[in-house]
Structure 1
Amino acid sequence: MRLRRPTVAVDVPAGFHATEARALQVALAGVLTAAERAATGTPVPVDAVLEPGRGEALVVVVRNRVVGFVPDAHAAGLRPQLAGAGRRARVVAPALVVRDGELLRVWVGPAPDGGVPAAPDGTDTLPEPQPTILGVPLRRDGA
């Protein structure tokens, strides 16, 4: 007999962009099917699972892949909801995977009227990772 974790919907009234999309592009592209990637201008509706991370961080997981983090401004309002749901609960929020220029991003919360706004400056602080094949860098810096 399999026991399923209870699913609890979290209330995200304002919505927000998950942070660190630049560093997590491989994971973001991996959550989309080939048909979803081909529809470049269409937002893809997904369920975002919010989980506690290290320290005070809240992690955004889509289709079993970490695709970003909850910004500090929104994390304070979501922490009590996660705590109230219980440790074993699967806490979900509606989300959209959208294209923002050359990047894929995750908008967590209800779809805003007039489309998803551009991500504010400072949303991504981690650098883009170097391209690798099986962990070997394709180019050497300084060579």
Structure 2
Amino acid sequence: MSSPFGSPSPDAAVYVISVAAELTGLHPQTLRAYERMGLIVPGRTGGGGRRYSHRDLERLREIADLTSAGIGIEGVRRIMALELQVDALRARNEELVAELDAVRRGLAARLAQARAQAPTNKLPVLHQSATQSVVVWRRPG
């Protein structure tokens, strides 16, 4: 999918492995190893060639940064899984905040409507039961 200006979307798999390796500073064998480990899943052409997206390149750079900081592959895998979980929770939180805002706006509108339709009579509401009646008198002034 392209943007209106003709550049590919961040998820468009457009980079061959040699270009992806050059852009990330990693060896093509390292990219293949990360794929075998399940850290990255590049797109494939009809002939089976790997194609990497901009988002894949960002992920590869992040993996390289973490491993160069001394974090092992299992640690990298766990960090990336937690980042995905955090992203999902943020998205869900945004949905809930939007839903709460919509409910608050709806309640405010209903309250305003109810106030506009309320009778102007200031007498208290009278309650009647089957056995008795109540009359409320109000002094003028």
TM-score normalised per structure 1? 0.22
Task: Specify the structure having the higher radius of gyration (Cα).
Answer: 2
Greater per-residue helix proportion: 2
TM-score normalised per structure 2? 0.22
Greater per-residue strand proportion: 1
**Greater length-normalized contact order (CA 8 Å, ≥ 6 residues apart):** 1
